[in-house]
Amino acid sequence: MRRALRLLPLGALVLLAPAFLAAEGTTALGIGAARAQDAEPAEAPARKGRRGRERGQKATPPGMQQATPVTVVGDWNVFTNGQGRARLCYAIAQPQTRSPNTLKRDSAYLFVTVRKGENVQNEIAVMLGFAPKPAAAQSKPGAAAAPTDPTLTIGATRYGLVIKDQNAWLQNPAEEAKVVAEMSGRSPKLIVKTVSARGNPTSDEYALAGFAEAMKRAREECK
């Protein structure tokens, strides 16, 4: 049975702050948070993004505690924060299905951010809720892909992820626009697969219903 999302209340916006991830029994976006992490965070190399952005930073939208809810479209929520060139806008959702469902972990989120002042249009980030193994090439540059490498899959297309602590971004930032376009298309879901630091395979499935409209609204809010 499909679980509907509800708008995240303003008082609960600290959900995306790292300190909250250790809390227990809290709900957000209509989905219950797990009560424990699967493993302790593991260090991984930081990666520089376009315009010098640090892609190894925590996947916490800056000023999340002051974010303003805009709308809910299907499975996605839209938030904004700030004014002028400092304004941020993003569409965010939680996974509809997490497997194995017996694995203890914190809440997961996937969001796409528009940063008006930095001309960033499609930054994709995932908060996993546990510490995964990084890609083989991330641990050892030049290494061949491994079965445990973290991936994001839409339809038949799979994209590698780079890991920092409990967060992930696309390995190749140049693919962000393509992934967002595919998320806005006919694919009903997006799947994030990893292997935890303790060796447990995981799979989080995000429904894409409403994403295209939510992303359109986020862009309008950050024109």
| Chain segment 107-165, per-residue pLDDT in tens | 999 999 999 888 889 999 999 999 999 999 998 888 898 999 999 999 999 999 999 99
Positive or negative, the Cα torsion across 109, 115, 118, 121? positive
Mean pLDDT for 171-195 is: 95
Helix/strand/coil for 14: helix
Report how far residue 35's alpha carbon sits from residue 55's, in angstroms, rounded to the nearest whole number. 27
Cα dist from 173 to 10, 21, 49, 195, whole Å: 30, 26, 7, 22
Q: CATH 2.60.40.1880: does it fit domain 10-221?
A: yes
Q: Output the pLDDT for position 160.
A: 95
| Chain segment 34-87, per-residue pLDDT in tens | 333 443 322 222 344 443 334 433 334 444 557 889 999 999 999 998 888 889
Q: Output the pLDDT for position 65.
A: 59
Mean pLDDT for 19-24 is: 26
DSSP state of 5: P
Q: Output the pLDDT for position 64.
A: 57
Report how far residue 113's alpha carbon sits from residue 82's, in angstroms, rounded to the nearest whole number. 13
pLDDT at residue 206 is higher than 70:
yes
Q: Is the peptide bond before 62 cis (omega within 30 degrees of 0)?
A: no
| Chain segment 88-107, per-residue pLDDT in tens | 999 999 999 999 988 989 99
Q: Output the pLDDT for position 46.
A: 33
pTM, full prediction: 0.73
pLDDT at residue 219 is higher than 50:
yes
Mean pLDDT for 174-188 is: 95
pLDDT at residue 14 is higher than 60:
no
The domain locations on the chain are: 10-221
